[in-house]
Structure 1
Amino acid sequence: MDKDRLVLIKVYFDLGLKHKEILCILEERCGYNLSIGQLIRILHVHGFYRYKIPTDVMTVAEFIMHEQRFSGTMHGYRWMNYKLKCRGIRARKEEVRLLMRVLDPNNVDLRQSHRLHRRMYLSKGPNYI
């Protein structure tokens, strides 16, 4: 198998592209014409799985603590899961949710209470704005 093709497939796979998107890019930009079956076979033979190989729990916890420290604590587990995915760290949503519950229970409770913070707006009169 062509090493360049395998490297390209790995890069596009790690970017999170879907199979059809990988095939389109390979065909249009690189001239490689593959079927979906061939692509899936190549991915499985070389051990490229999306969800089968999760990252170590301590790595996920360290990343969550780092993100909470530097980008704020009021983000939910879906946002955190997205950030993990962007960094190439594979973790289940439930695992992320439980880790966030353990690492920052106060803010998780605040988010779950769906508190609505009312704001005060001042205008010069009715229908002014």
Structure 2
Amino acid sequence: MASDLVEKYIRDGFTTNEILDLLENSHGFKVSKRTIERILCKKHLWQCKNKTDVAEVATFIEQQLGTLGQYHDYRWMHQKCWGNGIVTDREAVRLLLRILDDEGVNLRARNRLRRHVYHNYAWHIDGYDKIKPFGIAISGCYG
């Protein structure tokens, strides 16, 4: 019963201390702050104030997808957001990645990552030097 009330109050935007007061004064439940936190954790509910606007998060993720960010999953992208001062939760990042890069999400899920596309036509040169003392030099180049 108390856990349902905690869930309702969290979804309504109340803080932990406000929920404690409401449970005690309105419903007659005397619980600790730690109990409230356990209920939140068990129900996968988190209090996160001052979240960054979703449009700003989407813009940042789209910029990252244009670089090496296309090779990483939502956990890495969430850390990248927090590292750049963007406050959001993992679920929002996961959903935005699904919307913005559905093909990449599917490829990562099947362990079939896109290979890097070279835009400057880089050439790779490699040499095999083990038989060089015998007068034979082998080099290979691909691009």
Normalised to the residue count of structure 1, the TM-score between the two structures is: 0.48
Instruction: Name the structure with the higher helix share.
Output: 1
Which structure: larger Rg? Answer: 2
Of Structure 1 and Structure 2, which has the larger fraction of its residues in strand? Answer: 2
Instruction: Point out which structure has higher relative CO (alpha carbons under 8 A, 6+ apart).
Output: 1
